A and B are shown apart, each in its own frame.
Chain A
Amino acid sequence: MAERKIRVLVAKPGLDGHDRGAKVVARALRDAGMEVIYTGLRQTPEMIAEAALQEDVDVVGLSVLSGAHMALVPRVLELLKANGQENVKVFIGGIIPDEDMPRLKEMGVTGIYGPGAPTGQIIDDVRAAVQA
């Protein structure tokens, strides 16, 4: 019974209202045996960090299609750190231009996925990141 479940928060920060991608990923992680806490649309970074704390998740997955990732993602990372959750791995999905990727990785983002990314890859990467 002491088996440890991977807990993932899937959140959509910012103002775009397209959550199909987030739902597909949530479903895929569920089918991989993880516990996925889904927060719904239009979350502020503060709401996401608070949920991540209360749920004691291992991973936060952010879906951003609005182009505001360079504002939203660093803020989430900063808040997680301020709450003592610097060990939480952050993944991003959505429309992220190639030139932003190195900077996001530098800030501490573990994985970045665009449209068409195979869910099997995301699952493997999440597992690897949590076990590391």
Chain B
Amino acid sequence: MTLAQSVLSGDRLALARLLTLVENNTPEGREALDELFPHAGRAHLVGVTGSPGSGKSSLVNQIALHYRKADSPRRVAIVAVDPTSPFTGGAVLGDRVRMRDLSGDSGVFIRSMATRGSLGGLAQATAGVVQVFDAAGFELVLIETVGAGQAEVDIARLAHTTLVVEAPGMGDEIQAIKAGILEIADILVINKADHPGADNTERALKSMLDLAHPVEKVFRHHGQAMTVSAPEAAHDPALWIPPIVRTVATEGTGVAELVKSISAHAEHLRRSGDWSKRERTRLETELDLMLTQTLAAQFRAQLSESRYDEIVDQLTKRTLSPWEAVKSLMNGNKS
């Protein structure tokens, strides 16, 4: 039996071993991914992102618990990503600390991953790890990104549904209209909603949503009622307007409503055809990335080390610009 077959038959140790092989980008890992690919594509992939300390891990714990306690519990996999040190290559992966409620449940599998130099909030191998879980029959895969700032938006390409978690007191309305992380939210979560400032956070997020999705409004201007009609798109039922959900993850408050929003979003994606559209975009991005990496690796392999060093020397002396260096290397001057 191949490792992939053992994984399909439900062997948890085989699953754990395969995840390591995939993470280390080994030939065996890639072979198994090929074998598992036809079995994947069924799971609902839910991303959870937000700044460090906003409560992502606690929320993931609660969401998973909720799905496990449902009448027809779904099998839940959790991929928790934490940063790798840029200096030593080491990492402390601490997301499990918040997920102890889930231990002892064989319908849950938690795997911690380090970013290993990747900058978009996920690790390079996260997509592969998610694919393995999907093929192994986990119906829900929760993907927790590193504590993300403003631009770690890779998760939106990988997940079907992206939750952006905010905590009160993290910024004003200007933060809310900046491009980046808030734009990728399918669901906005205000966690720690029992803290002061939750109302302000909600107001800021609402005003951002209003700018993005205008609806018809009546307001008073110098004592006169004025109606501002919304553009056509706002009436489109196919449009998903991100709901704002308040939670207190440590107590489980608001989690039922959050889970309802997650299911509603999955339902929306299937109805509108966006599910397959997202799937297509994701596969295309992955293909692009692999193609780029393979070509680059192939190119480097046929390049002599000394020639490469020589070019780098010229760069440091500034006798060659990086673009000139690329041109020179591409022009077959490889000796």
Contacts and interface: CB of A to CB of B under 8 A. Distances in A.
Interface of A: 1-5, 7, 26-27, 29-40, 43, 46-47, 50-51, 53-56, 83-85
Given A30-B92, A35-B91, A85-B13, 12 more contacts: A2-B24, A2-B25, A7-B20, A31-B88, A33-B89, A34-B90, A35-B93, A46-B103, A47-B100, A51-B96, A53-B13, A54-B110
A132 B26 CA distance: 21
If over half of A's interface residues share one DSSP class (helix, strand or loop), that class is named, otherwise mixed; here it is mixed
B93 A50 contact: no
B38 interface: no
Contacts of A29: 90
Contacts of A39: 96-97, 100
A50 B91 contact: no
A31 B84 CA distance: 10
A45 B261 CA distance: 37
* Interface core residue of B19, B92, B114, B124 (most chain A CB under 10 Å): B92
B105 to A, nearest CB: 9
A51 B93 contact: no
Q: Which 5 A-B pairs have the closest CB atoms?
A: A40-B97, A30-B90, A56-B16, A33-B89, A47-B103
Contacts of B104: 46-47, 50
Interface string B14-40: 001101100011100000000000000
A26 B100 contact: no
Nearest to A52: B16
B227 interface: no
* Interface core residue of A36, A54, A83 (most chain B CB under 10 Å): A54
Contacts of B12: 53-54
B68 interface: no
Contacts of B138: none
Interface bin, chain B: 20 to 34
Interface in B106-125: 109-112, 114, 116, 124
B100 A40 contact: yes
B94 interface: yes
Contacts of B97: 38-40
A33 to B, nearest CB: 4
A30 B85 contact: yes
A7 B16 CA distance: 12
Contacts of B17: 56
7 contacts: A1-B25, A30-B92, A36-B91, A37-B93, A39-B96, A46-B104, A53-B13
Given A37-B112, A46-B104, A54-B16, A32 B90 contact: yes
Contacts of B109: 54
A7 B194 CA distance: 37
A55 B25 contact: no
Contacts of B24: 1-5
B101 to A, nearest CB: 11
Contacts of B114: 5, 35
A30 B83 CA distance: 11
Nearest to A34: B90
A83 B114 CA distance: 24
A85 B20 CA distance: 14
A24 to B, nearest CB: 12
A51 B17 CA distance: 13
Contacts of B90: 29-36
